[in-house]
A = this chain, B = another copy of it.
Amino acid sequence: MRDGGWEPRRLAAVAVALPDGVTPSGTRGRILHAALGLFAEWGFHGTSIRKIGAAVGINSATLYAHYPSKEQVLADLVQIGHAELHHRLTEAVRAGGAPAERLAALMRAHVLAHTDFPLLSVVTNSELHALSAELAAPALALGVASERLLLDVLAAGIEDGSFDLPDVRLAARAIGGMGQRVGNWFGPDQPHTRTQVAEAFVSFALRIAGITTPIPPA
């Protein structure tokens, strides 16, 4: 076997961060933070409970006083990630407005969720396959609900004639996809602020929907 050397990252060098309010305190919270950084970098199966323990400064066995399994730690992270995104998206469209306004608000919220918690978005989007069906189900349901918000706004814009799109599904894939990848590259080593990225992507989403918009200079 190799290992011991360095491996290339799949994300920018960013600090480990979790949303306020939902993160447990004490050792339980420190385990969650450490696992987030390690899962984002090495993947779930590439991270051992011994490495998590070392990062926290506890013995690996102590983890089991706080979580029933390593898998449950991932399940909590994935749930927090999907819940945070769904909460932000719901808030974004709560004010209502024309479809173009709601699409802009959705895209803005989506991008900012990924710039504010890039590691969480990477883990949430790319480690879900490591969860059993039972543990993944709650997060998957939230993901479906989040996708629904975008599909509904696109359908509304087609309905009232403000969008120029023959089909909502492919547009939703494109808009969702370009937002989802933000967590993989956003970080201090690139030149744009979170707001610049968000406003640029808002313009891109509106353009995809068939509305010509100026794009704010980055």
Contacts and interface: CB of A to CB of B under 8 A. Distances in A.
Nearest to A42: B129
A145 interface: no
Contact of A131 (B8, B171, B176): B8
Contact of A2 (B9, B71, B164, B176): B71
Interface in A166-218: 166-167, 169-171, 173-182, 185, 190-192, 196-197, 200-201, 204, 207-208, 210, 212, 214-218
- What number of copies of this chain does the assembly contain? 2
Contacts of A26: none
A43 B45 contact: yes
A134 B212 CA distance: 45
A5 interface: yes
Contacts of A43: 43-45, 129-130
Contact of A170 (B131, B140, B174, B192): B192
Interface residues of A, number: 62
A7 B131 contact: yes
Given A69-B2, A126-B10, A180-B181, A218 B132 contact: no
Contacts of A214: 164
B167 A41 contact: no
A204 B180 CA distance: 17
Contacts of A180: 177, 181
A3 B131 CA distance: 9
A151 interface: no
Contacts of A208: 204, 207-208
6 contacts: A8-B128, A46-B130, A167-B218, A169-B218, A171-B200, A173-B182
